[in-house]
Amino acid sequence: MDAATMAEISKKLNEEEKRLEQDLADIGRRSGVGRISEPDFPSFGDKEDENAAEVALYGDNLSLEETLERELRDVKNAIKRIADGAYGICKYCKQEIALQRLLARPESSSCVTCKEKFSRG
Ligand SMILES: [Zn+2]
């Protein structure tokens, strides 16, 4: 990979990291207490349909937060791999990950072949 492409990917990852941290902070703020790891249980009222809405919203916040935290972890790991000089190498087969894939998803840590193999189980 040439230096210009590396710099572009590095920039993308840093922007992505900032965006994810911002999104996670927003979820924490919306919950009212600023905690990031536990979104507050929203309260609409005590009627049965209101309780159902609370549970649904709580579930949405929680899964969104989990997704963001997972993405942030992937992005941070990719940034670390750049620093270690190990970026762009598949963590399973140790082959180079296709540049096209890295440009589309810079936090990728495995090649398409391994990704498909492992996601199928
Ligand atoms: Zn692989």
DSSP state letter for 41? P
Instruction: Measure CA of the first residue to CA of the last residue in the chain; give whole Å.
Output: 31
Q: The pTM is what?
A: 0.73
**pLDDT digits over 56-94, tens only?**
777 787 788 999 999 999 999 999 999 999 999 999 999
**pLDDT digits over 97-112, tens only?**
999 999 999 999 999 9
Burial of residue 37 (CB within 10 Å: 0-12, 13-18, 19+) is: exposed
Å from CA of 90 to ligand 1 middle:
5
Q: Measure Cα distances from 74 to 2, 4, 49, 59, 89 in Å.
A: 23, 22, 38, 23, 14
Å from CA of 116 to ligand 1 middle:
9
Confidence band, pLDDT 50/70/90 cuts, at residue 36:
very low
Handedness of CA 83, 84, 90, 91 (dihedral sign): negative
Task: Using alpha carbons only, give the angle 37, 39, 44 rounded to the nearest 5 degrees.
Answer: 170
